[in-house]
Structure 1
């Protein structure tokens, strides 16, 4: 029985499902979930991430990690953590760039957090010859706090789903996934049963507000980890830098948007990162946070334009490709503005690279 059929049967028996629960099932159902069975990254897959656009992205994140380590006093022991490492390309580039600082690599205990079995296999192959051997843990709570932590989470928050609440002329309702008499999945509105606080900003009738308990929990756990261990966590994702309304649920298959209800488990489902919620949760857990920067501005502060010029000088024949990659990562109409960067850190005296000004 397909995941869609199983979800339809479950909804018919127990009632409409929250959007967050539906997305979680589509992504992580052990039998048919997208990440559990068929994640497809890259140009030939369903979506592409910044590390797959260009090596420059991972190299600069690697140099960011080395500089953060230096600003922490170059400790002899360090836990380098990546959450959601994808196919391993980002960490591979990070470690290659870090060869400029042998002491950093000697200090590193490399930890990867990845729920997807197929992706863990890809990561193992990508890092088989790396300077540092990785180990995998289940979640943030399994990262030890007896050494400073430098953590990278690129396009992780958008995989942590949100419930959706809609304002109507008759008040607030929760948007849920129901089932028709023909066993098709359909969006509908249900009475609000809990977990919703009326937003402080104005929402017009028909507007949707997204609330992600999973993103808030991730921010809380990150804040607690960084507070206990010291260090910094870098978050890069597409999303909102201020509280605002918006239905951001989307499904991608072969780089095209498809109906999120059409084929559960066969497309990647995402919702925008809610940076204000994540950062507020981290502060409540005792950590400090930076503000949000657009990805383009963040990468420029790390020196991506200088790196692009160096690559062009080394490979003049590849200059047009490198320029297109630079544009894809930094231009306002590409990934430069919609994608944002923020950091969670401790102690308060730490100046996180990229936020020096």
Structure 2
């Protein structure tokens, strides 16, 4: 039903909390982001944030060449290109153009639930096939999977340490104001052993959604062949600290205000991603900084080539390169996952 019938998302969440009690942070985040991405194009100057593919074509092109090189060294098997949360389709459009020059022209599959974003993706990548989840991806060919700023938007649980142990963090509602509260205790077994005796007030974030998705994809890679490249902001864990944040209008907002109108994200624990991938029988590489990956893949030579072709844009190209490998290049990390028998992915070797 539409908001006109059911009320706005904050209204619906407020009613649900009033009737059934506070909800886990993961449930709140999932509902807020589902509404957010279904109702707008969040990218660009007129949106809330800008991703690397929107900064420069160099990003998508280098990812495409990374995939083509890996495919070539794997023996050129039949493959499908998969992007998770493709935004406007910009990364895939640039990557496919670069792959084609290297002889790779795979079928394209997007995992995307937003009708609005699917429309934008169709303009840039005609002929793509869309999926609501990874469950319906092809099972008869190897997969090259790219997840750029995808895992950070998946829902997280927050666990908070009190004097009497660890508790689930919940979201309550009081007079239409959403706020985090401490819920029921959780067994120590769900807390990594080095963190169990943390100081009171410490927060641990975990994401069942990330683990489930990575295991599902890695299981497919183990059976079908292929690789995944995940690029996101995050850390190597386990680590304490709250990273849940909201972005709106290219600035930070309160994640507990106006749910569904802000982009909610949290840092990715790449140690957990690697463990989930390895448990499914694949090999995890990294994480390394985005800057290191792009430099190893040849962003400097690509920027020089573009500048020679368009001298009038040389300053902009140099600025875009610096943005990708500067502060953004250290904040964002890259991890690759490869199927058994597949070669070491470019950028991740010695």
TM-score, scaled to structure 2: 0.94
Shift of 1:175: 1.4
Which residue matches 1:19? Answer: 25
Which residue matches 1:82? Answer: 83
Question: How do residues 91-170 of structure 1 correspond to structure 2 at under 5 angstroms?
Answer: 91-102=92-103, 104-105=104-105, 108-128=106-126, 133-170=127-164
Shift of 1:138: 2.3
Q: Aligned residue pairs: how many?
A: 342
* Cα deviation code 1:152-203 (max 9, x no counterpart): 11111001111001112332122110012x2311111112256961223343
Correspondence 1:191 to 2:193: no
Distance in 2, Cα, partners of 1:244 & 1:120: 35
State the SS of the aligned residue for 1:149: strand
TM-score, scaled to structure 1: 0.92
Question: How do residues 136-285 of structure 1 correspond to structure 2 at under 5 angstroms?
Answer: 136-180=130-174, 182-193=175-186, 197-202=190-195, 203-285=198-280
Q: Is the 8 A contact 2:159 2:204 kept in 1?
A: yes
Q: Is the 8 A contact 2:47 2:250 kept in 1?
A: yes
Q: Is the 8 A contact 1:279 1:289 kept in 2?
A: yes
Distance in 2, Cα, partners of 1:245 & 1:265: 26
Q: Is the 8 A contact 2:74 2:342 kept in 1?
A: no
Distance in 1, Cα, partners of 2:220 & 2:257: 39
The root-mean-square deviation of aligned C-alpha atoms, in Å, is: 1.5
Runs of 4+ deviating beyond 3 Å = 193-196
Distance in 2, Cα, partners of 1:318 & 1:144: 41
Structure 2 residue runs without a partner (length 5+): 1-6
Shift of 1:126: 1.4
* Cα deviation code 1:121-169 (max 9, x no counterpart): 11001123xxxx2111222221223221111111110011110011123
Q: Structure 1 residues 252-261 or 202-211, which shifts more?
A: 202-211
Distance in 2, Cα, partners of 1:234 & 1:83: 10
Shift of 1:349: 4.8
**Cα separation, partners in 2 of 1:317 and 1:310, compared to 1, 3 Å:** same
* Cα deviation code 1:239-283 (max 9, x no counterpart): 112321111111111111111121111111111112111221111
Structure 1 residue runs without a partner (length 5+): none
**Cα separation, partners in 2 of 1:196 and 1:212, compared to 1, 3 Å:** farther
